[in-house]
Amino acid sequence: MPVSSSNYPTMKYPLASDPVNVHGDFKVLVDALNDILPPLGLGAAYIDVRNTTGAAISQGTPVFISGSVSGKSLIEKYNPSSLTHNPDVPILGLVKNDIANNSNGLVIISGVIQMNTTGLGAAGTKIYVNDSGDLVAGRPSTGPARYIAVVAIQATLALGGMLIVQTKGNGTWGALKDGLS
């Protein structure tokens, strides 16, 4: 049985002549996604993981899969400057909430994450992962492009800001999108 389009909220497509309001436009998009996706059981693509690194991993930390145990992916902070880290390992995503050592948690692979966005720029700023595994506003001047998110709402409160996570697996996709700069 076909689904009637009247069951879904309508979202207007922007026109070239529409005024640009990056903050407002992202907020409208995020609000629409928050209205549409949760009733469908969606909101973000995430993976259930386990932290056995010996230390807590903070919310918003870029991570990679370092192994598995009992069907759960083990994660570590993505840090290509570490001598023990293979820089060719792709970024899995961002930690949704702090994960204590020897605890389970979630990693957002694609979707919206609410977090403190202090220092990550205004709404619309592209977020990259630098060679130390930290989130930075704009493309780092050294190292490969590791584009991972865009600021949707800039805020200093723990859950006041929002990033739209767009993990692509490695820096190649980000480099192509940035014109191989």
Q: Can you give the C-alpha Rg of the chain in angstroms?
A: 17
pLDDT digits (tens, 9 = 90+) for 58-79: 999 999 998 888 888 999 999 8
Amino acid type, 28? V
pLDDT computed for residue 6 by the predictor: 45
Identify the pLDDT of residue 45. 77
Low-confidence ranges of the chain (pLDDT < 50): 1-8, 169-181
Q: How many CA atoms lie within 13 A of 148 on its CB side?
A: 32
The model carries a pTM of 0.69
Residue type, 20: V
Provide the pLDDT for residue 167: 61
